[in-house]
Structure 1
Amino acid sequence: MSAPLSIWVVSDGRTGIQNQALGLAEAVARLTPADVDVKHVRWRPAFDRLPSALKTPAMLAPGSFDPRTVSEWPDLWIATGRASLPLSARVRDWSGGRTFVVQTQDPRWKNDRYDLIVAPAHDGLSGANVLSITGSPHRITPQRLAEAAPAFAARIAPLPRPRVAVMVGGASAAFDLPPAHAADLAERIAAAVTTAGGSLLLTYSRRTPEAAKAAMTSRLSALPGWIWDGTGDNPLFAMLDAADHVLVTEDSANMATEAASTGKPVHILPMIARKAPGKFARLHADLQARGAARPFDGTLAPWTYAPLNETERAARAVLEAVRSR
């Protein structure tokens, strides 16, 4: 292509959602010259819960990306999340077929309206326009982790090894993290880190209940390490770069996938199930089959495996499909 590929990344702007589309776009941009532009789609509160079929651009919130103002559509539209669906399903019409439309996750609506759906294999979605990958696309690469490290080196570099990164999620439709269970997890983590003579690097999710945070922080704050309190720049990438082991709660496909991309042992922390784990169990079984993850057994035995690189695989498939068309 003589000119850079123009890519729009479209989501509601929440980090965990946006990073799927942005990570895929960045992976495409590593393969070919490209200009990546981020667009946020938000709906007025009165219309946000309407079915996607009933939403129109007139219902968009002030400050949201508005397709009515577009004079030139991009080569590639990569979107994720429910908020983007009413637009993604219409982009091919609005662009006169110029724009190649990619939707990540399972849209569960008008799946034939997207040129390609990059869906987690654990969702079980199939179709002629579906590319199944292990987990979800993300932004983590060895280079990005290494670039993040210097800004936090003064805090992390003196810590003893093994360094144990812990990524804690929270309440969801499938899982809960009550204080008693959080305290029990903290005891098990503390025992493992202490036995190994290592240190702790911990981040909480926005979904982590405050009572669970308090219970875990109370027990783990005595360990060498750093429990990020949410203020200042997010040190997650630097923590993953420095870690020798990564512990993730079982409620997040994104966290497990990101951890498995590091090539470092991934230990899955159990939570309280609200219902059958279903797709999460399928994802964890996939990661275990790849040698990336194991249930946390209270020890920190090391192992090796080929880092998960599904975002790169998806990017190559997207670029091939764009060029073929």
Structure 2
Amino acid sequence: MDSRPLTCWVVSDGAAGNENQCLALARSLGLLPCIVRIRLRQPWAALSPRLTFGATDAIRDESGAAPAPPWPDVAIGCGRRAALVTRLLRRWSDGRCYTVQILDPRIDSRAFDLVIVPQHDDVAGPNVIRSIGALNAVDADWLAAGRLRFADVAHLPAPRTAVLIGGSNRAQKLDDAYFDALLERLGARHAADGGSFLVSASRRTPPALADTLRSAFARFPGKFWSGGADGENPYAGYLGWADRIVVTPDSVNMISEACATGKPVYTFAPRAIEGKLAAFHAELAGSGHLRRLDEALQGPPQPPPLAETAAIAELVRERWRAGAAAWLASSVEPTRLSG
């Protein structure tokens, strides 16, 4: 029986939100992933993953090399461009590579062995697993490691409020008026119960806006991070040490990570949220994981952490065993899929 370690590719288009979901699933499966960041020529980039003819010559990794064997035992991709590679890996490997695609690939799910989509994408099929939010690495161990690595945050006055800032998208506009109103509410909270703010801007936050917010939060105790100039990213430390978390309403990834902490999570959305994002907010509000910032602090009991990644990883193991039993029997020991 072959006892070699299982190999895993995380196929990424370079977007941090997509890549992090793949890494979280791979690690929850007990796999050591190799990250393959791909670049696509036109028209394959625009038509991915539908256009497969000639795609082998259009796909390159960061070094400029085309994908080549040995093919991995499992490939996990997230996003439309990565879906082209995970789709083709089934063909290139003669079906021996088990392909998992995260997020709606916008083609028939049967092009992959397994598709994992959030419920608000409204995708269904016999090989589809549906989540509430985005897969992520946040669990008790991750939070403990964040507290240990950023122990200095513990010295800031409590209650510590983590403030996670994204950027405008089609579903929600975050402009000067939005942040003026948010700061007014956060200032009122601070006047009432003191504490400190742990502010983290994302890659999608415009630099000019980050500078404005840095100045605005300077009147409060706390920390502000918006990029490498501020040192190592303290995001894990912020979530680990926070007593409560406020997240702008635009990011499924950040909201999912906040709700995975098991701490009270608030969002501020003065404008109606549009599209699929509205269904996501409604789902989390219904379960008690997400509250409006204007709600009273003493609300309903806090629900358990939104710990989806481990549960979905177990479903992936089950599907993998069932769907890949034939080639697993001849190549790797099935019991090794226990993670």
TM-score where L is the length of structure 2: 0.87
Aligned: 1:37 with 2:30: no
How far is the alpha carbon of 1:178 from its aligned partner? 1.1
Are residues 114 and 66 of structure 1, via their aligned partners in 2, closer, same or farther at CA, if it must alter by over 3 Å?
Answer: farther
Q: Distance in 2 between matches of 1:64 and 1:157?
A: 42
Are residues 196 and 65 of structure 1, via their aligned partners in 2, closer, same or farther at CA, if it must alter by over 3 Å?
Answer: farther
Secondary structure of the 2:76 match is: strand
Contact 2:48 2:80 in 1 (8 A): no
Aligned to 2:336: none
Aligned: 1:241 with 2:240: yes
Q: Distance in 2 between matches of 1:194 and 1:25?
A: 44
TM-score where L is the length of structure 1: 0.90
Aligned to 1:84: 82
Return 187-196 or 230-239, whichever deviates more.
Answer: 187-196
Aligned: 1:177 with 2:174: yes
Map 1:158-307 to 2 at 5 A. 158-231=155-228, 232-270=231-269, 272=271, 277-297=274-294, 299-301=296-298, 303-307=301-305
Q: Distance in 2 between matches of 1:54 and 1:280?
A: 28
Are residues 53 and 137 of structure 1, via their aligned partners in 2, closer, same or farther at CA, if it must alter by over 3 Å?
Answer: same
Contact 1:187 1:219 in 2 (8 A): no
Identity %, equivalent residues: 37
Are residues 321 and 277 of structure 1, via their aligned partners in 2, closer, same or farther at CA, if it must alter by over 3 Å?
Answer: same
Are residues 45 and 196 of structure 1, via their aligned partners in 2, closer, same or farther at CA, if it must alter by over 3 Å?
Answer: farther
Gapped runs of 5+ residues in structure 1? Answer: none
Deviations 1:275-306 (A, max 9, x none): x5232221122112222111111654374211
Secondary structure of the 2:219 match is: coil
Q: Distance in 2 between matches of 1:281 and 1:217?
A: 29
Are residues 301 and 201 of structure 1, via their aligned partners in 2, closer, same or farther at CA, if it must alter by over 3 Å?
Answer: farther
Contact 2:258 2:265 in 1 (8 A): yes
Aligned to 1:314: 312
Say how many residue pairs are matched. 317
Q: Distance in 1 between matches of 2:223 and 2:46?
A: 39
Contact 2:99 2:112 in 1 (8 A): yes
Q: Distance in 2 between matches of 1:130 and 1:84?
A: 17
Secondary structure of the 1:307 match is: coil
Q: Distance in 1 between matches of 2:254 and 2:193?
A: 24
Secondary structure of the 1:305 match is: coil
Deviations 1:188-238 (A, max 9, x none): 112213312111001011112344334433322111100113122211011
How far is the alpha carbon of 1:152 from its aligned partner? 2.0
Q: Which amino acid aligns with 2:235?
A: L
Aligned to 1:5: 6
Are residues 270 and 215 of structure 1, via their aligned partners in 2, closer, same or farther at CA, if it must alter by over 3 Å?
Answer: farther
Secondary structure of the 1:90 match is: helix
Return 177-186 or 236-245, whichever deviates more.
Answer: 177-186
Q: Distance in 2 between matches of 1:65 and 1:304?
A: 49
Aligned to 1:134: 132
Contact 1:119 1:133 in 2 (8 A): yes
Aligned to 2:20: 19
How far is the alpha carbon of 1:246 from its aligned partner? 0.7
Contact 2:210 2:226 in 1 (8 A): no
Q: CA RMSD in A?
A: 2.1
Q: Which amino acid aligns with 2:14?
A: G
Q: Which amino acid aligns with 1:104?
A: I
Q: Which amino acid aligns with 2:302?
A: T
Q: Distance in 2 between matches of 1:140 and 1:271?
A: 28
